[in-house]
């Protein structure tokens, strides 16, 4: 096994950076390694150079945060650095080592846990290794670079539809519509509704609705709110901005149209409005999550100019990793 010096890590990162740039120009440049629960896992390569590194981090998500609504309460996350053109063998070896580690952790057997690997969506080379180890593709982080056009289909001008910035007086309806997404995504494993969720949504939106300029919009007709878009501005999107290149990154956190109003172009009109605002505010990239098998959101977002950047593969509970 090669000695894990900063130089070895740098060499691996350099090779991974070149690979990622070739795969997808929106992927970030890998720097250093995250803090792990132990020394990095190493897949042996030729000439003493590792064929891959893996760092396991344990994340215990507090019950009083909305993050616990969007995933398991305890997450064991494996960060992979795979420098070779074909990553499958190294990914396979690192996942096998990681599994050994997780079987030694009693807490990984608890129900509300997940073993998580964030994988560059366009890296087809190691996907079979992820599947072989029992991981399922749960969610996608999709990206839209600024200015990317949405196909014009004339739906912008829906008679009577008004799209407006939401304000403090909209707290009840914003909470109601946001809870609609939480409930809908639960059927696909995208969300895990908790007892605290509604109260937390309300508290977060109360603060966000006071912000000006507004980053929350409502689509309404005849005074009835029918659709909601909530965006995290760059200052609160820092938690996810590192998943793409440096620049001004916003995060489209919530998008919802009432079930009886879907399929008529309200969602597209709302997103067009939001994109015009984001482009005017100098946002370079907008990121969002969608549940991989949500049949409404995946096609909708691809039509709206987004494409997969990262795929999140999970085994739930974590001990079901094979
Ligand atoms: C995703 C969602 C916001 C889309 O909103 P929407 O108002 O239904 O979206 P649109 O009507 O603009 O577009 C949806 C479909 O209707 C079609 N459509 C657009 N204008 C239309 C019109 N005038 N008449 C009929 N259909 C129309 C669109 O072409 C699109 O169809 P296609 O992509 O299958 O070809 C909505 O389905 C929703 O709230 N889903 C549940 C929550 C959710 O999944 N949120 C996203 C989480 S990431």
Determine the pLDDT at residue 153. 56
Assess whether pLDDT exceeds 80 at residue 149: no
Determine the pLDDT at residue 6. 87
Give residues with Cβ within 8 angstroms of 159, minimum separation 6: none
Between the CA of 216 and the centroid of ligand 1 the distance, in Å, is 19
User: Which atom, in ligand 1's list, is nearest to the CA of 271?
Assistant: 12
Give residues with Cβ within 8 angstroms of 33, minimum separation 6: 9, 40, 53, 55, 79, 81
Q: Phi and psi dihedrals of 136, rounded to 5?
A: -120, 140
pLDDT band at 156 (very low <50, low <70, confident <90, very high): low
- The residue whose CB lies within 8 Å of the most ligand 1 atoms, and thus the one to mutate among 69, 267, 270, 274, is 267
Q: How far apart are CA 267 and CA 272, in angstroms?
A: 9
Task: Give the distance from CA 121 to its chain's centroid.
Answer: 11
Determine the pLDDT at residue 224. 95
Q: What is the mean pLDDT of residues 150-170?
A: 82
Instruction: Scan for tokens 């009577």, then name that residue.
Output: 160
List pLDDT tens digits, range 220-249: 999 999 999 999 999 999 999 999 999 999
Q: Is the CB of 184 under 6 A from ligand 1?
A: yes
Determine the pLDDT at residue 5. 87
pTM exceeds 0.85, yes or no: yes
Assess whether pLDDT exceeds 70 at residue 104: yes
Determine the pLDDT at residue 48. 79
Question: What angle, 0 to 180 degrees and rounded to 10, lies between the N-to-C axes of helices 171-186 and 197-209?
Answer: 140
User: Which atom, in ligand 1's list, is nearest to the CA of 290?
Assistant: 48
Determine the pLDDT at residue 147. 85
Determine the pLDDT at residue 274. 96
Q: Is the CB of 257 under 6 A from ligand 1?
A: yes
Written as six digits, the tokens of 241 are 């901005």
Q: How far is CA 143 from CA 25, 76, 151, 186, 243, in A?
A: 11, 25, 17, 22, 10
Determine the pLDDT at residue 290. 98
Determine the pLDDT at residue 82. 98
Q: Is the CB of 266 under 6 A from ligand 1?
A: yes
Determine the pLDDT at residue 171. 98
Between the CA of 143 and the centroid of ligand 1 the distance, in Å, is 18
Assess whether pLDDT exceeds 80 at residue 19: yes
pLDDT band at 198 (very low <50, low <70, confident <90, very high): very high
Assess whether pLDDT exceeds 90 at residue 46: no
Determine the pLDDT at residue 53. 98
Between the CA of 261 and the centroid of ligand 1 the distance, in Å, is 9
In DSSP terms, 117 is beta-bridged to 78, 313
**Measured CA angle at 118 (ends 115, 120), to 5 deg:** 155
Question: What average pLDDT is seen over the chain?
Answer: 95
> Poorest-confidence range of 46-55, 122-131, 203-212?
46-55
């Amino acid at each position: 096994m090669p000695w894990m010096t900063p130089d070895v890590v740098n060499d691996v990162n350099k090779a991974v950076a070149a690979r990622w740039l070739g795969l997808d120009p929106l992927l970030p440049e890998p720097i250093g390694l995250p803090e792990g629960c132990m020394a990095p896992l190493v897949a042996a390569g030729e000439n003493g150079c590792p064929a891959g590194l893996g760092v396991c981090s344990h994340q215990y998500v507090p019950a009083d945060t909305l993050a616990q609504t969007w995933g398991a309460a305890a997450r064991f996350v494996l960060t992979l650095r795979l420098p070779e053109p074909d990553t499958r063998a190294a990914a396979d070896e690192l996942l096998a080592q990681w599994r050994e580690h997780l079987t030694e952790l009693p807490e990984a057997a608890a129900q509300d846990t997940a073993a998580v690997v964030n994988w560059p969506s366009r890296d087809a080379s190691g996907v079979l290794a992820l599947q072989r180890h029992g991981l399922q593709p749960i969610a996608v982080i999709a990206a839209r670079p600024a200015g990317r056009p949405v196909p014009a289909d004339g739906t912008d001008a829906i008679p009577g539809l008004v799209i407006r910035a939401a304000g403090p007086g909209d707290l009840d309806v914003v909470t109601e519509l946001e809870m609609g997404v939480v409930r809908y995504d639960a059927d696909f494993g995208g969300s895990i509704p908790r007892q605290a969720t509604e109260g937390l949504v309300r508290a977060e939106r109360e603060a966000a609705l006071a912000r000006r300029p507004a980053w929350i919009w409502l689509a309404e007709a005849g005074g009835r709110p029918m659709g909601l878009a909530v965006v995290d501005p760059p200052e609160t999107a820092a938690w996810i901005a590192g998943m793409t290149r440096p620049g001004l990154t916003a995060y489209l956190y919530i998008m919802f149209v009432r079930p009886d109003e879907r399929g008529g172009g309200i969602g597209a009109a709302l997103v067009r409005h939001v994109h015009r605002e984001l482009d005017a505010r100098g946002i370079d990239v907008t990121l969002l999550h969608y549940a991989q098998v949500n049949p409404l959101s995946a096609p909708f977002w691809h039509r709206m100019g987004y494409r997969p950047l990262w795929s999140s593969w999970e085994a739930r509970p974590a001990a079901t990793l094979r």
